[in-house]
Structure 1
Amino acid sequence: MAVYSMTGYASVQHTPASIEDNTSAPNVRLGLEIRAVNSRFLDLTFRLPDELRSQEPALRALLTQRLKRGKVEVRAAIDVDTSASLPQPTPALLQRMQSVQDLVQAWLPDAKGLSVADALRLAGGGNAVSVDWQDIVPQVADSAVQALIEARAREGERLAEMLQDRVQQLRTLASQAGPLVPQLVEQQRQRFLDRWQEAMGLTEGQVAPEAARERALSEATAFAIRIDVAEEITRLDSHLDEVERLLKKGGEIGKRLDFLIQEMHREANTLGSKSAALDLTRISVDMKVLIEQMREQVQNIE
């Protein structure tokens, strides 16, 4: 199953067949566009002309069935172009219109004369075509939703590739952090031994060498426990495994990924707080930068 972004756009134009078959009818075209951005839940907004207002429940049902999350705006417009189908009234028809107008004005002197638009409307009155949008809108909407889903799938594929890249970079940083701890522990153990040897020299043998060595090793052990990040690295690797599993699975994974990102950020923070060397601090900072980049992109995944 694919990974879907919540961001997408689709637009569909449709001319009813009854209009296409009637060359003398005005050119009527339905335009439907859908815009979607990220949101915690499914939030639908409709901007429809009066002729399509009754179609809102059907559109809402369709979108609720096909989409799970996102702020979705649906816009529809009916475009009527009469320029290609202007009637051509005959002289006889125009003469009859003039006669009727003269008769009306003889009885009603205040009545206004016919305008050019009035004459064209009367001449083409028999060509008016009514459209039953109830059967057309669901079909057009279904095509638009399918186009939106395909757009969201393409964007989701790009997001998944980006997340996979960040996962690999985090694994590299984790592999660099692991070997640093034993080195730091050994350095600290030797430092403790050197200090205790200096202390023994100052006490002129009042402290037994065995006791000094044991105390130094005890201090080194406590230090090793304090800076050990093996548990954090293990948990981080486990979270990265789950991220990769979800990306392969696809579907509705946005909320799960968001939770994992929070857990990964916690482990990177803990690693930084245990840092006893600049190298570990750098690794922790680099990890948090990568995790923050992942968080920004995960917010767009359905």
Structure 2
Amino acid sequence: MKISTTKRFLATTNSNKPVDSLFSDLTSSIENKKSLNNNNNNKNEATGLAIADTDNEDPSKIQYIEPSKDSKLQEFLNPKPYLTIDKLLTPLKKKIYLSNIKKNGFFKNNDLIKLKNDNKSEYKLNLPLNQIEALEPSIYLRSWRIKSSVKKTNIVLRALKNLPLKKAITQLHFMEKKVSRDLVEMLERGIKDAEKMNYNVNDLYIAESWVHTDGHWVKRVDCKGRGRAGIFTFKWVSVRFLLKTSQTKKRLEFLKSERDSNKKVNSFISNGKIRGNAPGFYRW
């Protein structure tokens, strides 16, 4: 949604009150009109005085509002980041979740937790994997159209895998690839979002990254010698980043150590009893 810097106008149909937003709600104005009509009818019945109709006002009067002063419009263009803990968990679950993280450094399923105010009882929380990933601190970044191809961009993104955020920005500053300038602007936006959400910027790292074609490619004629011609294809891509904290790293390391400890050892020795002469692999 693109808004010009010139002043936009909005004509009012039923009142001369100042306009609050370009996104003014028409339904509320209809309700106000009905309530005004009901009040007028009640006053007419009580006093018998005639009240002027609001529909006879001059519709040519125009009220102006600047987009920069429009609070509702700015909320739509620049939405505030929110914490998923407040959205997905109840107050009790939120307390258990935060105390679990304080104890282990990450969320551990089915771990007995004691709350501060309630030392007698113990609580246990079990969450699915997709919900744990959603609750962990993260920042999602999405780019606009970037003049590059998937193959060229993917080379840069592979170099940034699992790097700390500030180190990734430093690496992009010294890369000779053209797409690195656009990626630097994206990651610097991630630093601003982290400051808004009170995250530790030094704790963030690039967990995942994607690149996909924009789809709207421009084609032009490529003139060649001897009356031949080809097609120039100007490619555009879109990039996305998922930034996470060391809390995710600790959880992944713990799951990896659990998998290694529970891994079965392959052995050719059977569990049965040895009868008679022992075969060759029992002689050591």
Report the TM range for the smaller structure's normalisation.
under 0.3
TM-score of the pair, normalised by structure 1: 0.21
Question: Which has the larger share of helix?
Answer: 1
Larger Rg: 1 or 2? 1
